[in-house]
Structure 1
Amino acid sequence: MSDRLPGFSTLAVHAGAQPDPTTGARATPIYQTTSFVFNDADHAASLFGLQAFGNIYTRIGNPTNAVLEERVAALEGGTAALAVASGHAAQVVVLQQLLQPGDEFIAARKLYGGSINQFTHAFKSFGWNVVWADPDDIASFERAVTPRTKAIFIESIANPAGSITDIEAISTVARKAGVPLIVDNTLASPYLIRPIDHGADIVVHSLTKFLGGHGNSLGGIIVDAGTFDWSTGGKYPMLSEPRPEYHGIRLQETFGNFAFAIACRVLGLRDLGPALSPFNAFMILTGIETLPLRMQKHCDNAKAVAEYLAGHPAVASVSYAGLPSDKYNQLARKYAPKGAGAVFTFSLKGGYDAGVNLVSKLQLFSHLANVGDTRSLVIHPASTTHSQLDDAAKITSGAGPDVVRLSVGIEDKEDLIADLEQALGA
Structure 2
Amino acid sequence: MSPSSQWRGRAIVAVVAAALAVGCSPPGSEVQAHGSDRARGSDGVVQQGLDRLVHDDKYPAALAATIGRDGRTRNYASGVADLKTGAKVPVDSQVRAGSNTKTFTATVVLQLVGEGKVDLDAPIERYLPNLVRGEGIDGRRITVRQLLQHTSGLPEYSDTIGDLTGKDRHTYVQPRTLLDTALARKALFAPGTSWSYSNTNYVLAGLLIEKITGRPLAEQITHRIIQRIGLRHTSFPGVGDERIREAHPQAYFAAKPGAPLENITKMDPSWGWAAGQVISTPSDLNRFFTALFNGKLLKPAQLTQMRTTVKVPDSFGLEPGARYGLGVTSIPLSCGGLVWGHGGDIPGYKTRPGVTDDGRAVTIAVTANQAPTKQGPADVNALLDSALCEK
TM-score (structure 2 length as normaliser): 0.28
Max Rg structure:
1
- Bigger RCO (CA 8 Å, 6+ sep): 2
**TM-score normalised per structure 1:** 0.26
- Comparing both structures, which one devotes a greater share of its residues to helix? 1
